[in-house]
């Protein structure tokens, strides 16, 4: 697995995206899967940047590996423990005015990835997403 350790700041999103994109292109990822992964990476990294260490800044580690035709991407931070999968999915049948604020980005990530898992281990949030390269 390739690994990028970077300050969890929104200004570093381009560096994170370039890191992921270069690995996906080297693995001949389909354009559709690549775009879905890039959107998911943006959502997850920006959430870490905004909430994990607020109001301070900490580090994030993003790892990517290609396993059995899928990209496996892991986000690690030592910020506030938070399991995004524990939150109930938003009711998308309601209008935007009727829905509670928040949760839509994580919902989109869950729907576009083939697998998504969270664990809190050794003082770290560890979120893993998996997406088949050809889908």
The pLDDT of residue 103 is above 60: no
Closest CA to 130 of 70, 85, 86, 76: 70
Rounded CA-CA distance 130/126 in Å is 13
Q: Tens digits of per-residue pLDDT, 108-122?
A: 888 899 999 999 999
Q: What total number of domains does the chain contain?
A: 1
Alpha-carbon dihedral sign for residues 99, 103, 109, 115: negative
Please, are residues 109 and 36 in contact by the beta-carbon 8 Å criterion? no
Q: In which domain, by residue range, is 114 found?
A: 2-132
pLDDT at 114: 96
CATH number of 31's domain: 3.30.565.10
Q: Is the pTM of this model over 0.75?
A: yes
pLDDT at 104: 59
Q: Tens digits of per-residue pLDDT, 78-94?
A: 999 999 888 765 555 55
Which one is predicted more confidently, 70 or 98?
A: 70
If you ran DSSP here, which 8-state letter would residue 68 be given?
Answer: T
């Amino acid at each position: 697995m390739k690994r990028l350790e970077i300050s969890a700041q929104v200004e570093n999103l381009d560096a994170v995206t370039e890191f992921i994109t270069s690995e996906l292109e080297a693995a001949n990822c389909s354009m559709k899967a690549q775009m879905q992964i890039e959107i998911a990476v943006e959502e997850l990294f920006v959430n870490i940047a905004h909430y994990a260490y607020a109001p301070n800044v900490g580090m994030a580690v993003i790892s990517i590996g290609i396993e059995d035709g899928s990209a496996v991407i892991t986000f690690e931070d030592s910020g506030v423990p938070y399991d995004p999968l524990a939150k109930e999915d938003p009711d998308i049948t309601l209008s935007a005015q009727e829905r509670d604020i928040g949760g839509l980005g994580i919902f989109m990530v869950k729907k576009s990835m083939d697998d998504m898992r969270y664990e809190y281990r050794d003082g770290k949030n560890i979120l893993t997403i998996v997406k088949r390269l050809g889908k």
